[in-house]
Structure 1
Amino acid sequence: MCRNIKTLFNFHPPATTDEIYAASLQYVRKVSGFSKPSKANEDAINRAVEEVFIATQNLLNTLVTNAEPRNREVEAERAKARNAKRFGLENRD
C-alpha cells in the first residue's frame, strides 16, 4: 500500500517515537488522500495520526520473535541494492 512506510519491528536499536509517528502520518495521509488537510479536516487528521501512532506503538511493544534483531545499516544497504536493480542504477555513483 505505502512503499514509504518502513518496517519498524525487530531492529536494534528499536524504532524511535519519531519513526513511529512518521509512519503513522504517512499512513493517514495515504488513507485520507490529504498531504496537507484543510482547516476543516485538520483536527480529524491530527486525531487519526495520534490514534494510529498509539496503536502502532502498542503493537510494536507486544510483538515477539525468536529472530535476531535486524541491523539498520545492513537493511539500508539491501534496500539500496534492490532499488538500484529495480530502477537500473547499478553503475551510477
Structure 2
Amino acid sequence: MNDIDQRQLGKTLWNIADQLRGAMNADDFRDYMLAFLFLRYLSDNYEVAARKELGPDYPDLPEEALQMTGTSTPLQVWYEENLEDV
C-alpha cells in the first residue's frame, strides 16, 4: 500500500469514526472503542488457545452445521457436548 492509499484510508476511517461517535467527545469515543477492540482481541486469542489446547477434540464444523445446531462457534458446540469437563 503506497502513501497516497494509506492517507486516503486514514481519512476514510476518521470520517467513519466521526459519523459513529456523533456528538460524543473524541476521547470518550476512543475509550469506548478501545474497550471493544480489547474484547475482540481476547475473544480471538481465546479461540486460538482453545483450538490449540483441545487439539483433535476441537469440533471443526462448517457454517451450515453450526446453524443447524443453533450455535455460533465450534467452541460452543464443544462446551455443550462436554459439560462435565467445563
TM-score, L = length of structure 2: 0.30
Structure 1 length-normalised TM: 0.28
Query: Where is the strand percentage greater, Structure 1 or Structure 2?
Result: 1
Q: Which of these two proteins has the greater Rg computed from alpha carbons? A: 2
